[in-house]
């Protein structure tokens, strides 16, 4: 009786561990998210986060990994039930991928706020609300958004495929994500916060590649548009 009970305890654990290893070995996006998680955890250690802050960070990160595993399980189940193309099957996969994206963005946002700390967060609010001469931060963001949107539309028109709101030569999601990351670099003037912002932008670009909406070249073009626009708007315009 004792041997069978031990087998019952070890068996489920072995199955669960096998599922975790299989997901890591076969799913590229799972590996990508895990690498991002490791980077964020190391940043938290470098800035000496308190125990409670590390626990909050680890809990939030675990939600990302769990959501990614559920996403992989849903994709495998949908492919098994509906091997041929079905709009509802695609809808189910898109919802699962969207859940992963939301949890990842929240995890990176939580990590960024914890690494910034209370003092830098207060300084960030002061920078956003200060009455500085020249074009204010919000005005620069609006101008940058208009410039990026115009360049993206023109780029999509020059390409041979895609539409204004999906696909095309220049990735709009990548362009706007890297514009925000570049603006964060000028706003915070903090290397760790800037690194997290660019990680988040890279995650947005990676999600478009995983969904097979854009190629790597199109995503790089979008990133270049966002970064160059951000450098021009925040670096060259008079403050």
Determine contact, residues 201/178, Cβ cutoff 8 Å.
yes
Please, is 103 exposed, middle or buried when counting C-beta atoms within 10 Å of its C-beta (0-12, 13-18, 19+)?
buried
Q: Which of 68, 75, 131, 218 is catalytic?
A: 68
* 218 noted as active-site residue: no
The total of other beta-carbon atoms located within 10 Å of residue 81's CB is: 10
User: CA 112, CA 109: separation in Å to the nearest integer?
Assistant: 5
Residues near 9 by Cβ (< 8 Å), separated by ≥ 6? none
Residues near 172 by Cβ (< 8 Å), separated by ≥ 6? 148, 149, 152, 156, 165, 222
The total of other beta-carbon atoms located within 10 Å of residue 75's CB is: 16
Active site residues: 68
């Amino acid at each position: 009786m004792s041997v069978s009970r031990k087998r019952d305890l070890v068996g489920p654990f072995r199955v669960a561990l096998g599922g975790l290893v299989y997901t890591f070995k076969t799913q590229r996006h799972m590996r990508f998210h895990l690498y991002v998680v490791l980077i964020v955890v190391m940043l938290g250690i470098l800035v000496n986060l308190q125990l409670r802050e590390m626990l909050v960070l680890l809990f939030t990160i675990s939600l990302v990994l769990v959501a990614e595993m559920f996403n992989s399980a849903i994709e495998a189940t949908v492919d098994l039930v509906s091997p041929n193309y079905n709009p509802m099957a695609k809808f189910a996969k898109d919802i699962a991928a969207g859940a992963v994206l939301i949890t990842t963005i929240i995890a990176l946002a939580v990590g960024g706020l914890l690494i910034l700390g209370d003092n830098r967060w207060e300084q960030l609010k002061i920078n956003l609300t200060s009455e500085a001469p020249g074009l204010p931060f919000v005005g620069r963001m609006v101008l940058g958004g208009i410039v990026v949107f115009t360049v993206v539309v023109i780029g999509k028109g020059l390409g041979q495929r895609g539409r204004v709101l999906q696909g095309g030569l220049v990735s709009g999601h990548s362009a706007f994500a890297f514009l925000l990351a570049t603006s964060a670099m000028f706003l915070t003037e903090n290397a760790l916060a800037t690194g997290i912002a660019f990680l988040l932008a890279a995650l947005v670009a990676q999600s478009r590649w995983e969904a097979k909406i854009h190629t790597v070249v199109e995503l790089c073009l979008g990133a270049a548009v966002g970064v160059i626009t951000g450098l021009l708007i925040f670096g060259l315009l008079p403050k």
